[in-house]
Amino acid sequence: MTEAKKTELMEEETRATSLMPEANGSSITSVMDNNVSSARLTEIMDKDSNNRVTSIMQPHTAIDFSRRTSIDGFKIKKVIAENTGEATLILTEDEEGVNQVIKLYHSGARIDGKIEKVLENINSPYVMPHRKGGIYDGRMYEILPYYEKGDLTKNIPMSIDFIEKIVVKSLNEGLKVLHDNGIIHRDIKPSNLFLSDDESRVILGDFGISSLLDNNISVRATSISRTLGYSAPEASNGFVSRQSDYYSFGITLLHLVIGQDPFLGMTDMQILYQTINKPLEIPATVPPRMQQLIRGLTVKDRNNRWGYDEVVRWLNEEDVEIKERKTHKGIKPYTFNYNKYYGLDEISMAFANDWENATKHLYRGLVEKNIIQYGEEYVNKIADVKEFEDKDVAVFSMIYILNPHAPLCFKGKVYPDLQALGAAMKEKIPEIDPDIWKLISKGCLLQFIESNNFNDDLKAEIKFITEQIQKNKSEYYFALMYILYPEIGFDYNKKKYVNLEDFIDDLEMNDFNYIARICQDLISNPMFIMWIYSLGYAKQVESWMKIYEKAVWE
């Protein structure tokens, strides 16, 4: 196949993953499966073409830089990293002999144009400067400065004195500049902080999943990307704010002080449980003054969490109050599985992890008997859910009555984020996980999404899939999987494909009859169809299906 023909075939109308009818209510184009009588969903919602990088760990087709000497006038010196998740980092030299880093995004990745424009206009010693890049080999790139000292993970161990005088001040001032310009970083951690060559300051970098606040809005609904452990408790419910960056600030300081990841050796479930329910564990070896700063920055309630002003006062050695969560004095503990729990959030997470016993406690009246001490309104709501036809839906609803901010959980499984749900769906392929199917079809996932602060596009997508999934179980199930976890790709003949071009390259190496048989199999494969939709090839799939239908009928 020639490149020209391939390009024509592969032309992208959009890079969206939304699968919905038009907003004006008009019907979608119907394309009939040769084996299924129900109409297939074919409308792809168009999104802002300047979407931020949507794939944090997206596999990619590597470029062989051993045969290339320059990128748009920048002399290639070496590849720094190829598996950063969203891009390849290349050390180059500009025309003046100054080292620069080219951040070449993987195929299909996009830079948020609005954030990029704001960053280009920021002039701060604490924020990594951005120069406008371009397009190279069909991929977007940015031009960034090169720091010989590297990120902070490469400079551990470091002294408490250095952390207090250099890191704390730099990070606080850098965040102020970003927040004053409406940017929430969303991924503050040691590997995204760089040490200046003279070691006089720390610079904030890597804005791949940053969000831009609208004017006069302090909280933003987000997508699903984050770093577990470093992200604030509220991030599990889909929203972030300036205070969320300060929580990550606190975890980052703990990492630097103890010299390693604070969550090393812990499972995702353990990290999530501690983030939401437990005070951060700070070793006694950490100096008391630094302990105070870390505790102030990691208060669970974002409204009481320290921010810029408190950190400045701490640097000036003023006495700054920490508003910790109040203890439940006089509250009778809830005994569940031989453990005692204080507080509705702890009780709800205990239920989430043992669904069977939680169901027994609910229907035996044990929950209402204890919860009355927290208020009669809880008892009334829990009594109502017991009237639900489905017991699993009742337990699900009970958990969120007790703790509206609980992470997504169903049938004894807790999902730290929506990407984890997508990954769980992938594990059972080609089978459909019956518990996840129930989570979707019974409206529980939609209830979770709508009651939290996820972005409106995602809410609309989940709502549409919930309404339609009974019509075509597998197709809409896989559609949701790709929405939640687009990095999954498509497995075929023991090989994983992340873009359609590579798949076609391999396919065209076979004879025509073999290709015809493969295409006949693929067109009735709902996972393949949804994979192509998620890549943005809706119109091409429609044309392909119409051609195939015509051939079948003739």
Compute the distance between CA of residue 201 and CA of residue 199 in angstroms, rounded to an integer. Answer: 6
Tell me which DSSP letter residue 19 carries. Answer: B
Per-residue pLDDT, averaged over 259-265, amounts to 92
Per-residue pLDDT, averaged over 30-44, amounts to 32
Compute the distance between CA of residue 192 and CA of residue 65 in angstroms, rounded to an integer. Answer: 25
Same domain, 442 and 340: yes
* pLDDT value at residue 226: 60
Last residue of a domain, one of 410, 439, 456: 456
Same domain, 172 and 270: yes
Is residue 523, in this structure, part of any structural domain at all? Answer: yes
* pLDDT value at residue 513: 86
Q: Which of 2-6, 229-233, 454-458, 519-523 shows the lowest mean pLDDT across its residues?
A: 2-6
Compute the distance between CA of residue 107 and CA of residue 87 in angstroms, rounded to an integer. Answer: 9
Banded model confidence at residue 92, pLDDT cuts 50, 70, 90: very high
For a pLDDT cut of 90, what percent of the chain falls above it?
41
Q: Write down the mean pLDDT value for the chain.
A: 81
Is residue 51, in this structure, part of any structural domain at all? Answer: no
Which contiguous run of DSSP H or E holds residue 444?
helix 444-450
Beta bridge partners of 183: 212
Which contiguous run of DSSP H or E holds residue 490?
strand 490-492
Is residue 365, in this structure, part of any structural domain at all? Answer: yes
Per-residue pLDDT, averaged over 351-376, amounts to 94
- Count of domains forming the chain: 4
Compute the distance between CA of residue 89 and CA of residue 105 in angstroms, rounded to an integer. Answer: 9
Tell me which DSSP letter residue 328 carries. Answer: -
Number of C-beta neighbours around residue 94 at 10 A: 13
Read off the CATH number of the domain in which 168 is found: 1.10.510.10
Banded model confidence at residue 258, pLDDT cuts 50, 70, 90: very high
Per-residue pLDDT, averaged over 8-22, amounts to 37
pLDDT tens profile 399-413: 999 998 888 999 999
Helix%, strand%, coil% for the chain, nearest 5: 45, 15, 40
Beta bridge partners of 492: 495
Banded model confidence at residue 178, pLDDT cuts 50, 70, 90: very high
Same domain, 158 and 304: yes
Tell me which DSSP letter residue 124 carries. Answer: -
Same domain, 302 and 355: no
Same domain, 183 and 257: yes
Find out whether 18 and 44 touch, Cβ atoms under 8 Å: yes
Same domain, 185 and 248: yes
pLDDT for residue 254 is more than 70 = yes
* pLDDT value at residue 57: 36
Parallel, antiparallel, or unpaired for β 183-184 and 131-136?
A: unpaired
Is residue 472, in this structure, part of any structural domain at all? Answer: no
* pLDDT value at residue 221: 38
DSSP labels, 240-270: EEHHHHHHHHHHHHHHHHHTS-TTTT--HHH
Q: Which residues contact 328 (CB under 8 A, 6 or more apart)?
A: 342, 343
Burial of 339 (0-12, 13-18, 19+ CB in 10 A): exposed
Number of C-beta neighbours around residue 59 at 10 A: 17
Same domain, 158 and 182: yes
pLDDT for residue 211 is more than 70 = no
Q: Which amino acid is at 136?
A: Y
pLDDT for residue 16 is more than 70 = no
Compute the distance between CA of residue 10 and CA of residue 523 in angstroms, rounded to an integer. Answer: 17
Q: Which residues contact 494 (CB under 8 A, 6 or more apart)?
A: none
Structural domain of 288: 152-315
Beta bridge partners of 212: 183
* pLDDT value at residue 14: 35
Q: Which of 48-57, 193-202, 228-237, 300-309 shows the lowest mean pLDDT across its residues?
A: 48-57
Compute the distance between CA of residue 36 and CA of residue 32 in angstroms, rounded to an integer. Answer: 7
Q: Which amino acid is at 295?
A: R
Same domain, 200 and 78: no
Is residue 213, in this structure, part of any structural domain at all? Answer: yes
Cα–Cα distance list, 237 to 252, 301, 345 (Å): 21, 14, 14
Beta bridge partners of 88: 104
Find out whether 55 and 17 touch, Cβ atoms under 8 Å: no
Compute the distance between CA of residue 452 and CA of residue 177 in angstroms, rounded to an integer. Answer: 28
Give the pair of three-digit tokens for residue 510: 């076979």
* Extended beta strands in 27-116, E state: 31-32, 39-40, 70-71, 74-81, 87-93, 99-105
DSSP labels, 132-186: EEEEETTEEEEEEE--TT-BGGGG-S--HHHIIIIIIHHHHHHHHHHHHTTEE--
Last residue of a domain, one of 145, 162, 186: 145
Same domain, 212 and 262: yes
Q: Is 349 helix (H, G, I), strand (E, B) or coil?
A: helix
Is residue 539, in this structure, part of any structural domain at all? Answer: yes
Last residue of a domain, one of 286, 315, 344: 315
Phi/psi at 223 (5° precision): -85, -150
Same domain, 102 and 157: no
Is residue 207, in this structure, part of any structural domain at all? Answer: yes
Banded model confidence at residue 209, pLDDT cuts 50, 70, 90: low
Compute the distance between CA of residue 414 and CA of residue 420 in angstroms, rounded to an integer. Answer: 9
Per-residue pLDDT, averaged over 10-35, amounts to 35
Is residue 14, in this structure, part of any structural domain at all? Answer: yes
Find out whether 189 and 423 touch, Cβ atoms under 8 Å: no
Same domain, 118 and 163: no
Compute the distance between CA of residue 208 and CA of residue 49 in angstroms, rounded to an integer. Answer: 16
Number of C-beta neighbours around residue 492 at 10 A: 18
* pLDDT value at residue 101: 93
pLDDT tens profile 525-553: 888 888 887 777 777 777 777 776 665 54
Same domain, 81 and 179: no
